[in-house]
Amino acid sequence: MRRHELTDEAWARIEPLLPVNAGPGGRWRDHRQVVNGIVWKIRTGADWRDVPERYGPWQTLYQRFRRWTADGTWDRLLACIQVHEDAAGAVDWSVTCVDSTIVRAHQHAAGARKKGRPGTKAASHAQALGRSRGGLTTKLHLACDGHGLPLAFVLTAGNVNDCTRLIEVVQAITVARPGPGRPRTRPGHLIADKGYSTHIIRAYLRSRRIPHTIPERGDQLAARARRGHRRCGFDPALYRRRNLIERCFNQFKQWRGIATRYDKLATHYRAAITIASLIMWLNQEPQNTP
């Protein structure tokens, strides 16, 4: 097994979940060879044309990546693995951390046309691209479990405020049950930094009965003191676990194709993050259970 390739154990878990019918006109090239090539490409951030020949023609890898992105294969793989891990008790629902990170977009990521003329603000935001002081950027809004493994994420333009997407990220957390029953959608306890300290967010979390630890900003504390109101409950010891989301981002940034966005289409960049999330779940170390 070469570097960046799936282990035998990881491959045995996803092989039964992959499509078996190539459709009219031919047979699939070996799935494992192609998936390893796609993972290598995202890991290194190289061009499709530079993928080593041992993984097959680059056109085959790109077409397979694009086809499985369009039909939701990558999303189904990640969902199935999360269901299996949750059934085995490997998902830590005790805390869920939410935060965002900025991803610098390469100049080749610009130019895709969708809902507007190329180069316009409407076209850029449709592809999760925004212009800020650092140039074109994309923002990754992420929720992770108590082990620092990704549960759900949302992509936006880099100049979108963090707090405007927390509700969307929380609503994206959906882990189905292996049998009958509604999927798990509610975190046991949500942790976020003071950038998410807004009345709308706190009201939403209370309406869903989600306990949360979010520190208040200085101006909010001063306003409460002037009105004679008590401050929101805050547990410093529990808040220290927020470093889980930072460690999760650190794992994502080890993928060069994610640390810098080269994809023009937001759907392709989202698929790359989904693949990285899948590998992180497959490669997680066994957790000690009491």
276 Cβ neighbours under 8 A, 6+ residues apart: 42, 251, 252, 255, 258
239 Cβ neighbours under 8 A, 6+ residues apart: 191, 213, 215
Per the domain annotation, does 237 fall within a domain? yes
Enumerate the β-bridge partners of residue 137: 104, 130
Stretch (H or E) spanning 32: helix 31-44
User: Is the Cα dihedral 161, 164, 165, 170 positive or negative?
Assistant: positive
The answer to whether residues 271 and 39 touch, using CB atoms and an 8 Å cutoff, is no
Stretch (H or E) spanning 190: strand 190-191
Q: 98: buried, middle or exposed (CB in 10 Å: 19+, 13-18, 0-12)?
A: buried
Tokens of 43: 């890991």
Give the range of the structural domain holding residue 199, as residue numbers without chain letter. Answer: 92-263
Per the domain annotation, does 135 fall within a domain? yes
Q: Residue 2's pLDDT is what?
A: 79
CB-hemisphere CA count at 13 Å for 45?
A: 15
Q: Residue 21's pLDDT is what?
A: 67
The answer to whether residues 143 and 150 touch, using CB atoms and an 8 Å cutoff, is yes
Q: Would you give per-residue pLDDT tens digits along the chain (290 residues)?
A: 678 889 999 999 999 999 886 666 667 889 999 999 999 999 999 999 999 999 999 999 999 999 999 999 999 999 999 999 999 999 999 999 999 999 999 988 887 765 544 444 554 568 999 987 778 999 999 999 999 999 999 999 999 999 999 999 999 999 998 888 899 999 999 999 999 988 999 999 999 999 999 998 777 667 666 777 666 767 889 999 999 999 999 999 999 999 999 999 999 999 999 999 999 999 986 554 43
Per the domain annotation, does 248 fall within a domain? yes
Q: Residue 260's pLDDT is what?
A: 96
Report pTM. Answer: 0.90
Question: For residue 116, what is the domain's CATH number?
Answer: 3.30.420
Per the domain annotation, does 257 fall within a domain? yes
Q: How many domains does the chain have?
A: 1
User: Is the Cα dihedral 276, 282, 283, 288 positive or negative?
Assistant: positive
Q: What are phi and psi of 103, to 5 degrees?
A: -120, 125
What gap in Å lies between CA 155 and CA 171, rounded to an integer? 14
Tokens of 4: 């960046």
State the residue for tokens 């080269």.
Answer: 262
CA dihedral 177, 32, 71, 158 (to 10 degrees): 90
Per the domain annotation, does 85 fall within a domain? no
Per the domain annotation, does 73 fall within a domain? no
Taking each continuous run of H as one helix and of E as one strand, the counts in the chain are: 12, 7
Secondary structure (3-state) at 3: coil
What gap in Å lies between CA 202 and CA 193, rounded to an integer? 13
Q: Residue 289's pLDDT is what?
A: 40
State the residue for tokens 């799936």.
Answer: 6
Per the domain annotation, does 226 fall within a domain? yes
Per the domain annotation, does 173 fall within a domain? yes
